A and B are shown apart, each in its own frame.
Chain A
Amino acid sequence: MMISMTDATIAIDDLVVRRGGHDVVRIPALEVPAGCVTGLMGPSGCGKTTLMRSIVGVQRVAGGTVEVFGQPAGAAPLRSRIGYVTQDPSVYDDLTVAENLRYFATVVGVRRRDLDAEVQRVIAQVVLGDHAKARVDQLSGGQRSRVSLAAALVGTPELLVLDEPTVGLDPVLRRDLWTIFRRLADDGVTLLVSSHVMDEASRCDRLLLMRAGVLLADDTLPGVLESTGQQDVESAFLTLVDRAAAAGHRDPHDTLESSFERGAPR
């Protein structure tokens, strides 16, 4: 499927990120369309986080361009339009949920008189209503990561970059989160969600399959299955790895078996 430049929220051209002397991410071209959920799937250490950091504009890149909403990634006007959730819950443990969100809402420019309403809104969005006054260090891991998500939702960003938001959560919570993501996309928000749990592919409108810093596929789930002739994402992924190896990319036998976990907590 071809996407015109104007529809793409994220446009990447020739991106190279180098660390310790070798390329950790190398993406010749990529466009992420607006208003849908794009899943970035791949094993731990394949470069998902680095790619996301490049899009948010906090990653030092060795070459190429990354544009978000038509502006270079990291440009100051983008900072209030992108919500970014890192893998670790990046919130203040020694503040309450509401205090955390109030601060982040102020930072993204929510006006003082709208602060309370905004904090209430995002707390309701991540279903943490009973815990608004609880200190973050008294919450469970799953609740903490929802606080972190809520902190990215303040100020209604147009693009959400979520790094493994469902890791370690119980299945009910994971389903709830994906429902939230779907609702946000229906409201016109663009979501880029990474996961190393292949089951979650079915929740996404589009899939980016990544391994060893390279994109193996950029397609819908049916598209990926059809082009590989497989029944499930994991087999499709393995087929793509084999094809890439046959085409002279990397050694196909390095650490493949440790690549995936099925829905298990980290």
Chain B
Amino acid sequence: MSVRLTLATASRVLRQVRHDPRTIALLVVVPCVLLGLLAWIYDNTPVFDQLGAPLLGIFPFIVMFLVTSVATLRERQSGTLERLLAMPLGKGDLIAGYAVAFGVLAAVQALAAAAFAVYVLGLDVAGSAWLLVLVAVVDAVLGTALGLFVSAFARSEFQAVQFLPAFILPQFLLCGLLTPRENLPDVLNTVSDVLPLSYAVDAMRAVTVDADATGDVLRDLLIVLGFVVVALALGAGTLRRRTA
């Protein structure tokens, strides 16, 4: 692993995105619009305060998952991946470079969405608003890491897009947003214990409900970061310099 090559890769990926202003606009605007829609639907009820924060974590998670899996698939199909793997670039440099680049995008997106939710939509946050942003960024990085990993198994854009319902929606159903996780049937509760999004949403919820929950939030964040590291390592492991 080389810091120089990781950063060179990250800045190359960001340059590619910069040449595509519409993608940047979509990244920033879409979560805000969705949150605004949610606030409007539940106008004059306490529901937005309950759902707003978890969704603030989930939207960037889903968006970054999709963006990352498509971006890495493109790298495979354009032949640039083969070229890079024939060059003195470590697999870890490539994966970490992607993670850093999309982490930066995720931070921008999470900042915009969190600011919009708190200042425009009036989302109640008991804890620190910065902690809310931090959790949202980590959730988005989790989406990036999972996207990097599963894109290795996609042979086409059709498949890559199908991984969203296959990998993400089950986590969404079980993460505690629809029903608190402790009310789930035992088996599903156990399953939800090993899914990363559960911890991402727990952290988000804890920040908003409890001003003194920083310890719990940090513990959940560490677990999510653990998943990120494992997914990135697995993602690097799926890259093969030699192929058939």
- Is A109 an interface residue, CB under 8 A from the partner? yes
- The 8 Å CB contact of B87, one of A94, A95, A99, A104, is A104
Whether the Cβ atoms of B5 and A94 lie closer than 8 Å is no
- The 8 Å CB contact of A79, one of B20, B78, B88, B244, is B88
- Is B177 an interface residue, CB under 8 A from the partner? no
Count the A-B residue pairs with Cβ separation under 8 angstroms: how many? 74
Q: Tell me, in angstroms, the Cα distance from A80 to B242 when the chains sit together.
A: 17
Known: A106-B8, A107-B89. A93 touches B78 (CB 8 A): yes
B-binding residues in A (CB < 8 A): 19, 56-60, 74, 76, 79-80, 82, 84, 86, 88-95, 99, 103-104, 106-109, 135, 151
Whether the Cβ atoms of B80 and A95 lie closer than 8 Å is no
Question: Which 3 pairs show the lowest CB-CB distances between chains A and B?
Answer: A90-B79, A79-B88, A106-B8
Whether the Cβ atoms of A108 and B87 lie closer than 8 Å is yes
Q: Tell me, in angstroms, the Cα distance from A89 to B19 when the chains sit together.
A: 19
Report B82-99 CB contacts with A as 1/0, cut-off 8 Å.
Answer: 111111110000000000
Nearest residue, chain B, Cβ from A91: B80
Whether the Cβ atoms of A95 and B78 lie closer than 8 Å is no
Whether the Cβ atoms of A99 and B242 lie closer than 8 Å is no
A-binding residues in B (CB < 8 A): 4-5, 8-9, 12, 15-16, 19-20, 78-80, 82-89, 241-244
Q: Tell me, in angstroms, the Cα distance from A196 to B242 when the chains sit together.
A: 25
Q: Tell me, in angstroms, the Cα distance from A90 to B78 when the chains sit together.
A: 6
Known: A58-B85, A90-B83. A95 touches B244 (CB 8 A): no
Query: Taking the nearest CB of chain B, how far is it from the CB of A49, in angstroms?
Result: 11
Whether the Cβ atoms of A90 and B82 lie closer than 8 Å is yes
Q: Give chain B residues whose Cβ lies under 8 Å from the Cβ of A56.
A: 86
Q: Tell me, in angstroms, the Cα distance from A104 to B84 when the chains sit together.
A: 8
Whether the Cβ atoms of A60 and B79 lie closer than 8 Å is no
